[in-house]
Amino acid sequence: MPTATPPQRLGAAGRPRLLALVAVVCAVVVAAVVVVVSARGGGDNGITVTGSGLRVGAAPPVFSGTAVDGRRFDLATTRGQVVLVNFFATWCSNCREEEPLLERLSRQYAGRGLVVVGVDWNDSGDARGFVNELHVTYPALLDSRSRVGSAYGVTDLPESVWIGRDGRVAQVFHGQLSDEVVAAELASLLGRPA
């Protein structure tokens, strides 16, 4: 009967090789995760946020980042315009139903001082595919790490924040926007009939 060979201990000379192998495997795994997240539309595309807390009548947290179409958006550059920040996600059916209204607003009122920006909040879905499928032309930023959403106190979707020409929060609306709600806000914030 053959005798079993006792296990051999890794000598001091073999430890550096083993540590190097573990480091290489870890680096490959991290790189693979980054590639998968980027391909699915994840990541925050350089989102930065200054400030936190959202109150009607106060200045909102300022954020900037790269939209899914590659354009830069910086809320700080919109002073003097009315801004509609809309938080959405690819899995949200009310968000999907709301998108055509937002797109129409963006096109129809851009010349009158309205800026629409979407923020894909806390979502692991394909935001680029969602935006392309619905033919969204206004900037839509990825907020997969919820930096903007946390600063704005988002808890449910869809959620919209109206910012007046003075740079202060005019209204926070929870739920799907309707033509009636939008008409009232535009009449109030643009200072002319919607």
Average pLDDT, the chain: 83
Any bridge partners for residue 87, and if so which?
A: 119, 159
pLDDT (average), residues 141-145 = 89
Query: Over 70: is that where the pLDDT of 158 sits?
Result: yes
Q: How confident is the model at residue 29 (pLDDT cuts 50, 70, 90)?
A: very low
The pLDDT assigned to 50 comes to: 77
The pLDDT assigned to 37 comes to: 38
Percent share of the chain, pLDDT over 70:
75
Query: Over 70: is that where the pLDDT of 21 sits?
Result: no
Q: How confident is the model at residue 42 (pLDDT cuts 50, 70, 90)?
A: very low
Tokens 């919820």 correspond to 146
Instruction: Give 163's contacts (C-beta < 8 A, 6+ positions apart).
Output: 60, 75, 78, 82, 83, 84, 85, 169, 170
The pLDDT assigned to 9 comes to: 58
The pLDDT assigned to 17 comes to: 67
Q: How confident is the model at residue 132 (pLDDT cuts 50, 70, 90)?
A: very high
pLDDT tens digits, residue range 73-120?
Answer: 999 999 999 999 999 999 999 999 999 999 999 999 999 999 999 999
The pLDDT assigned to 40 comes to: 39
